[in-house]
Structure 1
Amino acid sequence: MGVIALLPRTGVAASLVRDADIEHALTQLAAPVLRAAGLSPSQVGIYVVQDNQMNAFVLDRTAIYIHSGMILRMSKASELQSVIAHEAAHIANGHLTRRYANMQTARNTAALGAALSVAAGALSGNGAAAGSVAFGIASSAQRVFFGHTRAEESAADQSGMRYLAASGIETDGAVSVMELFAGQEALPTNRQDIYARSHPLSRDRLRQIKALAASYGKRGKPDPNADYWFDRAKGKLSAFTRNPKWTFQRMKESPYPDVRAMREAVAWHRQNRTNKALAALDRARAARGNDPFYADLRGQILFESRNWGAAANTYAGALKAAPNNTMILAGYGRSLVALGGQQNLKNAVGYLERATARDWRNDLALRDLGTAYAKLGQTGMASVVTAERHAMRGRSREARILAQRASDLLPRGSAGWRRAQDVLNSVPEK
């Protein structure tokens, strides 16, 4: 959608930070590692969880989740790539099927909000919160989601280091990450970093990783492209999550002129200095040519400045450069919803349906799609889309109520009616 979206928390549910640019950058960093693991970069997404603590985890074979705090603590690309490699190893080594085989489905996949809620409850040590999520889990959330054994962690370490070496990525990054957590086991559980609780640490593991790094030697070398994408992802994430004053003081640390200008643009935007933001962003765009993600950011700035017509035109241009990007599709749809009018709303439905069909994690796109249907007077479709959104967030009661309403309003056997049945069949009754 182009807009960096900090989805509101509900209960213990974790939130995703959705941004086309950041996710593209993380995909560039992950691609060589995923290929080395025998996984397709187009089928394993890298998503950011809004949480200041350091952690990374997997829930299924389609995604790796990394806390924003983890990315912001990393100092170089190879460190973040080592985290991705470790989580990719859990997928490739089949650890997921042993840990979790009873995930409910809503439309295309499990209710993300409920899954992340369980994860949040398990990681926080709040077993009651985790267990309260009606998700068909027989054992405790901690055992199911994060029951990593030391044997699994050792295997993932070995595989992850092999993926790094095979990709030509320096393995010292993995050592640096592990050293960040050195001594965690000596702390009381409530003072340990989440990563230490979800990924059992030991001095033996650290020794093993150091030995593996030494055995692979200096095969890897810094990749300028990886360094660039790391700086871009971290730079944009920090610009949106930290105080603008901090960004102004630190943006010169970015070695790439366009990233510096992008960070400045975000900081000005967050201070509602739209003209200064757009001027800074123009410098970033000039340095990168026809970069769809800087056009996407321009669309966001214009949209949030309530210049909806200019935002729609900008998103349309970004979409021409990246026609398959679901976030940009959704951003264009959102701007059309804001513009209003029957034709704009009809067009918005088309773009938003395309976006959400391929990216079910996009909470805000589902919200916008429901709004578009409601404004068009299509109450049944508005209900089913909103039901899907509630299901994704783990709100079972609300999801079932709206899905039943949609089922009553829509023609039996229609596509929308079938979607309502999917929600009713997959979301548990409370």
Structure 2
Amino acid sequence: MRHLRTFPACLVLALCLVATTLAQPARAVTLLRDPDIEHALGQLAAPILQAAGLNPARTDVLVIDDRSLNAFVVDRETIFIHSGLLLKMETPQMLQSVLAHEAAHIANGHLVRRPQNMRNARTAAGLGMALAAAAGAISGNASAAAGIAAGAQGTATRLLFAHTRAEESSADSAGVRYMVRAGRDPSGAVAVMDIFRGQEALSAARQDPYARTHPMSSDRVRVLKRLTAAYEGKTPPSNSDLYWFARAKGKLSAFQRSPKWTINRAGEGGFADVGHMRTAVAWHRQSNLQKSIAAMDRAIAARPNDPFYHELRGQILMENRQFGAATNAYGTAVNLAPNHPLILGSYGRALVAQGQHGQALQVLEKARSRDGRDARVMRDLAVAYAKSGQNGMASLVTAERYAMIGRLDDAEIHATHASGLLPNGSGGWQRAQDVLSAAKAARR
């Protein structure tokens, strides 16, 4: 099935958590890694993050493939939002209010009371621990998830996501300030709150995760209405915010809703190029390459220097096994965005398919150095190393990829093989020992 690029983000700690800890089974937590959607979310988040005193270049907004409604933070550099919540948002202000609220948890120091040894979510291991905790929150057992994902079984009662009402009220107030400071209408926060009203009356099993992880009260709603009343309707969304909101939500819905639904509504966002992009995705999902490329070319004609449209054109061609044309499309995207890790990863994949393994190694290593959280890049790296005759490195990268997705037995096999092929004491050999240590720790 054709879909947005995804990878399972559960390391050994997450698997141990799911297998042995949760009273209710945690769902698999999968990230949607799409360069266009992440860029659009970054554009919407940037003014809010700056208003919060955070660095937009160091704070990612990542999408979890889950139709339930939730958003959360686990460290100072990552905001997670469920795909279901993104699709539920009706205006840029609603989405930005969610981002402002989560940014407030970071800026107000609410993370300090969470497990101190939670590693940075920018690393593969840190991401796995973060999403292990997310799985626990979704299933209703966030405390155990947080404790075990952070390696702190003795403090498993420390809730990673269960914010106090005081923290929520503080984040509400700060979020409104950030929205106003950024020149955005904060009343979207009330519209978001209205979605969740009545959730606390439901049993935990029926609540959306947002209601479980963000405790609400009638007092919070009243205060939020009072704080936002003076600003409602006075600052309409900018054309830029409307555009990037249409772009993020439009592409996500084009991949997740039926093609017929998308084609019937492709032009609703008010931006012609976004409509063409959505139509291209819909025809692609119906295996009509000719119509898909024609629609994609119309989108590119409207924005010829947009790397993300060229990247999507490459994806459509790649998934139709047009490897040469896909490589050219990805190459154009890389020329326009030479340091974007997800675009580099796609280009490297196409080079591997073309048999250009030496160039693929350079591109894929650059992608991995800029974002070490993509298991697809590691898979393609292993293939490129093997095809280049570097079997030790191929085994090492394979071991690391298996460790990333929680298959520690397989990771141990490949790490052992890599240890025997790589020079003793070298950087690669040391990385193999790290995988072996993780595998051994998992069996204890």
Letter of the structure 2 residue corresponding to residue 406 of structure 1: A
CA distance in structure 2 between the aligned counterparts of 1:24 and 1:106, rounded to whole angstroms? 18
- Contact 1:26–1:229 at 8 Å: present in 2 too? yes
- Equivalent-residue separation in structure 2 for 1:216 and 1:240 (angstroms): 35
Quick check: 156-165 or 128-137, which moved more? Answer: 128-137
Superposed CA deviations along residues 15-50 of structure 1, whole A, max 9, x for unmatched, are 000111111100000000011111111111111100
In 2, distance between residues paired with 1:27 and 1:282? 25
Q: Secondary structure at the match of 2:270?
A: coil
Question: Which whole-Å CA distance do the structure 2 matches of 1:304 and 1:414 have between them?
Answer: 38
Q: Does 1:390 align with 2:398?
A: no
| Equivalent residue pairs, number | 425
Deviation at 1:406, TM superposition (A): 2.2
Shift in CA distance, 9/322, structure 1 to aligned 2, threshold 3 Å:
closer
Among candidates 322, 326, 348, match of residue 337 of structure 2: 322
- Which residue matches 1:429? 442
Secondary structure of the residue that 2:183 maps to in structure 1?
coil
Q: What is the RMSD computed on CA atoms of the aligned residues?
A: 2.4
1:6 aligns with 2:6: yes
Instruction: Give 1:181's match in structure 2, choosing from 196, 200, 214.
Output: 196
Inter-partner Cα distance in structure 2 for 1:226 and 1:102: 36
Q: Which moved more, 1:382-391 or 1:188-197?
A: 382-391
Change (3 A) 1:161 1:387: farther
Structure 2 match to 1:417: 429
SS at the partner of 2:73?
Answer: strand
**Does the 8 Å CA contact 1:47/1:66 hold for their aligned counterparts?**
yes
CA gap 1:152/1:333 in 2 versus in 1, 3 angstroms: same
Instruction: Tell me which moved more, 219-228 or 168-177.
Output: 219-228
1:420 Cα deviation after fit: 2.5
CA contact (8 A) 2:45 2:96 kept: yes
TM-score normalised by length of structure 1: 0.92
Letter in 2 for 1:405: H
Measured after TM superposition, the shift of residue 250 of structure 1 is: 1.8
1:19 to 31, 34, 38: 34
1:380 pairs with 2:384: no
Q: What's the CA shift for 1:252?
A: 2.5
| 1-structure distance, mates of 2:156, 2:239 | 41
- Per-residue CA deviation, residues 294-349 of structure 1 (Å, 9 max, x unaligned), is 00001001101101111111111111111111111111100011112xxx111111
CA–CA separation in structure 1 for the residues paired with 2:157 and 2:242: 35
Letter in 1 for 2:381: L
| 3-state secondary structure, aligned to 1:52 | coil
Shift of 1:387: 2.6
Does residue 253 of structure 1 match 2:268? Answer: yes
> Is the Cα–Cα contact under 8 Å of residues 106 and 392 in structure 1 kept in the other structure?
no
- Listed one character per residue, the Cα deviations across residues 354-407 of structure 1 (whole Å, up to 9, x for unaligned) are 101111121211221122222223222122222322333344444344334323
Is the 1:111–1:393 contact (alpha carbons within 8 Å) kept by the matching residues of 2? no
User: What secondary structure is seen at the aligned counterpart in 2 of 1:145?
Assistant: coil
1:55 matches 2:38:
no
CA distance in 1, matches of 2:148, 2:319: 35
Q: 1:106-134 CA distances to partner (integer Å, 9 max, x unpaired)?
A: 99453423431332123212579948966
Match of 2:57? Answer: 42
TM-score by length of 2: 0.89
CA distance in 1, matches of 2:330, 2:216: 45
How many Å apart are 1:145 and its aligned residue?
Answer: 2.1
Q: Which runs of 5+ in 1 are unaligned?
A: none
- Alignment check: 8 A CA contact 2:115 2:150 kept: no
- Tell me the equivalent position of 2:22: none
Q: How far apart, CA to CA, are the structure 1 residues paired with 2:320 and 2:338?
A: 25
- State the alpha-carbon separation in 2 of the partners of residues 160 and 351 from structure 1: 39
Shift of 1:424: 4.3
Q: Is the 8 A contact 1:329 1:355 kept in 2?
A: yes
When structure 1 is superposed on structure 2, of 291-300 and 96-105 the one drifting more is 96-105
Q: 2:164 aligns with which of 149, 160, 164?
A: 149
- How far 1:197 sits from its partner (Å)? 0.3
Residue 275, structure 1, aligned to residue 257, structure 2? no
Aligned to 2:228: 213
| Alpha-carbon distance, 1:97 to partner | 2.6
Secondary structure of 2:321's partner?
coil
